Chains A and B, each alone.
Chain A
């Protein structure tokens, strides 16, 4: 087994990976930018190395600095997490040429799936159904012609892309030009590659993805689906497993298609094959394959009982799966809510500031993967994900109730979060019935008004200046007047 793993990431995922390393008896190295010197992932690691400035290019995307950090700390493997360099084939190759193990798929698999245009051709050859569209277009006129042929609405997206970056929906021709320009710019920023592809935009579709996993001995299995249709601008907000839509027969067919997709690129380690699912026709199309650990992987961990990060590390170390497809089952229902520092009342603009309170919910079936604590600063440099709240229960209905209560118990002060918004989503009939499509948030649930403070909120706000000395809650002193306080009781009974 590895002696020391460097985690080339930050926030909750860096901590989640380091926790797995510790459990496997592996020492951990964190890396950080100047903006993150006091971040939780730095505190969590056995050692930490500064990469450079706050801008991702200078730090978390800085390949030279990362390889130097790995060498200096004598790490023998690098886990890239998600985002940043996780789907960068050159990085994976550079790690391997530096005699380190890349905890993920081969550079060749990443390269093959990373190019959305080429992967689509590969999938067609492998018999995996794909969305109608065009690749390799350059001039505006070519895009215009292609869009016309496919029929609006169309989707323009980065050929090198993923995660909703460099992706725009175009409803009519007069929006096409600006959409192409914006998508190109985002594509260059995010991936350093401005090529775009264009395809039919399926408005009333669901996003259903299949987790796949392979070892280096040719064994490939799938770990069932995740339904991720609650999205806003292609960013997932709520994910669950199982999907409320799939029949066992469909699940088996999608699982098989996903395994075939992975086989076509000789895949090993954890990956996710994303499908667009049309519930009316019960048909599904390959969207893309994410050649990395997914943000929403905990949902799969809770229903399958497998620790995906443990297995990523063990597979990178050359171990063989001790199980086959028929040994794997889904148990109960899991839901994840992504707690973002975003303000739903301002069109989800990121909210920055110092966390004055950060109290995580607890209880049976509740898991919080978080990268923050009270006192931490949420900056504008990185993704606004504060934490992932994941619950597991026997049924979907029970899981929804558990999630609502857990959201209630999650206290975040100092930045505005999307938690009220997510709770409202969980309350809708559409969500309860599993009818939420990928456009639902934008078309049916876009309006959001901040509730007005009621009497109790005003009382609490006014009292804070009186009962918390100096008005500073962090340095508050206790005012103890509880007549039921057991420590003050002098009765002669005990319980």
Chain B
């Protein structure tokens, strides 16, 4: 069974009591000693590995030796594709719009603050990624926005 996480693909197949994993042409033997309550104790080619793993939709949170990674399960086709909103600037996290400093049609410079939002008592400035003209503004002051919601669009 093949699974792709972000840009890496792993093939994992049962083999008797164990599993055979193949990543980047490397093959290892995996023995599951115990797996319960979000924790798994493994022997990977005989080496002890303890991993804490949580799943949330396509996301997998993995902690091994204190290092936590968030992997996203993707189908092969979507691999490596990032959200490009064609000049649209998105909210990096949920919060509230504090101010909108530009209007539609206004010329803006790269790095110029277009609007500010507040989240967790912190002010976040949304700045123009390049020189251009404001095509549309999708939010107003005081509005609550969700993570990845498109706020403003700038065209060249």
Q: Which residues of A contact B (CB under 8 A)?
A: 165, 178, 182, 185-186, 189-190, 346, 349-354, 356-357, 359, 380-384, 407-414, 416-417, 419-420, 423, 450-453, 455-468, 471-474, 476-482, 484
Chain A residues with Cβ below 8 Å from B118 are 189
| 14 A–B contacts from the bound complex (CB under 8 Å) | A349-B124, A352-B94, A356-B55, A381-B120, A411-B52, A411-B68, A453-B69, A457-B71, A460-B51, A461-B53, A463-B40, A464-B53, A466-B12, A482-B41
Given A411-B52, A464-B55, A473-B38: A383 touches B33 (CB 8 Å cut-off): no
Q: Which residues of B contact A (CB under 8 A)?
A: 1, 3, 5-6, 8, 10, 12, 17, 19, 21, 23, 26, 28, 30-38, 40-42, 44, 49, 51-56, 60-71, 73, 92-95, 98, 113, 118-124, 147
Check if A416 sits within 8 Å of B70, measured CB to CB: yes
CB distance from B110 to the nearest CB of A (A): 16
Per DSSP, chain A at the interface is mixed
Check if B56 sits within 8 Å of A356, measured CB to CB: yes
Chain B residues with Cβ below 8 Å from A465 are 3, 55
Check if A460 sits within 8 Å of B36, measured CB to CB: no
Closest to A471 in B: B55
Check if A414 sits within 8 Å of B61, measured CB to CB: yes
The CA of A468 and the CA of B55, in the complex, are separated in Å by 9
CB distance from B50 to the nearest CB of A (A): 9
Closest to A182 in B: B123
The CA of A49 and the CA of B151, in the complex, are separated in Å by 37
Check if A451 sits within 8 Å of B35, measured CB to CB: no
CB distance from B8 to the nearest CB of A (A): 6
Given A350-B119, A411-B52: A464 touches B21 (CB 8 Å cut-off): no
Chain B residues with Cβ below 8 Å from A461 are 3, 5, 10, 53, 60, 62, 71, 73
Given A453-B8, A462-B12: A356 touches B61 (CB 8 Å cut-off): yes
Chain B residues with Cβ below 8 Å from A190 are 121
Given A458-B5, A462-B21: A478 touches B28 (CB 8 Å cut-off): no
Closest to B8 in A: A458
